[in-house]
Amino acid sequence: MKLIDRLSGQLGISKKKAKALLDRRLVFVNARRVWIASFEVGPCDVIEVAGDPGDNRSTAGAGPRTLYEDENLLVIDKPAGLLSVGPGSAEILLRKTMKNREISACHRLDRDTSGVMVLAKNRVGLEKMEKLFKERGVKKTYLALVAGRVQFDQKTVDSPLEGQPSVSSFTLLEAGAEASLLEVRIATGRTHQIRKHLQGLGLHLIGEKEYDLGTVRKEIFRKAARQMLHSCSLSFADPFKPGTIEVRAEPPEDFKRIAGQAGLKISHWRSSHQ
């Protein structure tokens, strides 16, 4: 039987909805992630779906929350599942709700990465922020939940990506038997930089869908509907007046839930940022 047929019948959903789950890489066959609709499965194969198919909390059903705003800039807490740019994105939603066609993303977060994101409200703001990002004047900090017990306290990866310099610094906040919590600071912003640099260290995010396709043995990790990566803070010199803009966003509920199930305490991060 084809996987899409088994999935449709098992969940009592249409093939179109089953295909959407496969396209989002949320389906496991015998604890391995599979997204090919025609994949052949037998009666003894175990089919699982990450998260709850009827739960929209980790999808684009949730809108962005404003963390900071002035006449030129807007900083939001982007939910996982929402694109940064393009149709249906945070950028487009904010243009509509704020009735401002000039709103533009100054950088991007992956669809499944949550957290702090900066947008400009006008052309001048966009130009100044793009210059800051290009000159590495924006300090970006992430929280990452990785599978397994990390053995280092701090490690910096200086490994080119896309033919460009790429630097990521990883600091261990807490190591558990099944997972570890890392603070990540990046000096550059290449596509999937954190995920690729983690792969180079032999590590991967819980919920990783592209850079680790082996067997996911822990059920709680298979339930993660997205990669556990959260942009927790951004800071930069205000490009319009003296002073620094620093904005933080608490990890969302799914991140805290997975961390708690893995025996990790997000409070360790809070105390380190007070």
pLDDT in tens, the chain (274 residues): 999 999 999 999 999 999 999 999 999 999 999 999 999 999 999 999 997 544 434 444 578 999 999 999 999 999 999 999 999 999 999 999 999 999 999 999 999 999 999 999 999 999 999 999 999 999 999 999 999 999 999 999 999 998 999 999 999 999 999 999 999 999 888 999 999 999 999 999 999 999 887 888 888 899 999 999 999 999 999 999 999 999 999 999 999 999 999 999 876 555 455 4
What is the pLDDT, as a whole number, of residue 188?
84
Q: Is 40 helix (H, G, I), strand (E, B) or coil?
A: strand
Please list, in sequence order, all residues whose beta carbon lies within 8 angstroms of the beta carbon of residue 256, skipping any fewer than 6 positions away.
266
What is the pLDDT, as a whole number, of residue 209?
92
Question: Is 267:251 a contact under the CB 8 Å cutoff?
Answer: no
Question: Is 83:90 a contact under the CB 8 Å cutoff?
Answer: yes
Q: How many CB atoms lie within 10 A of CB 39?
A: 17
Using alpha carbons, select from 241, 250, 270 the residue that is nearest to residue 67: 250
What is the pLDDT, as a whole number, of residue 55?
45
Active-site residue among 77, 110, 112, 254? 110
What is the pLDDT, as a whole number, of residue 58?
41
Q: Is 15 helix (H, G, I), strand (E, B) or coil?
A: helix
Residue with token string 């080119």: 160
Architecture of the domain defined by 65-272: 2-Layer Sandwich (3.30)
Please list, in sequence order, all residues whose beta carbon lies within 8 angstroms of the beta carbon of residue 268, skipping any fewer than 6 positions away.
173, 174, 181
Q: Indicate if 153 belongs to the active site.
A: no
CATH 3.30.2350.10 maps onto the chain at 65-272
Reported pTM: 0.89
Question: Is 138:130 a contact under the CB 8 Å cutoff?
Answer: no
Instruction: Decide the pairing of beta strands 114-120 and 229-237.
Output: parallel
What is the pLDDT, as a whole number, of residue 63?
86
- The Cα–Cα gap between 52 and 232 comes to 25
CATH 3.10.290.10 maps onto the chain at 3-49
Architecture of the domain defined by 3-49: Roll (3.10)
The CA-to-CA distance between both ends of the chain, in Å, stands at 55
Residue with token string 């025996």: 263
Please list, in sequence order, all residues whose beta carbon lies within 8 angstroms of the beta carbon of residue 264, skipping any fewer than 6 positions away.
145, 174, 176, 179, 180, 181
What is the pLDDT, as a whole number, of residue 54?
42
- The Cα–Cα gap between 222 and 220 comes to 5
Q: Residue 28's Cα: distance from chain center in Å?
A: 20
Q: How many CB atoms lie within 10 A of CB 58?
A: 24
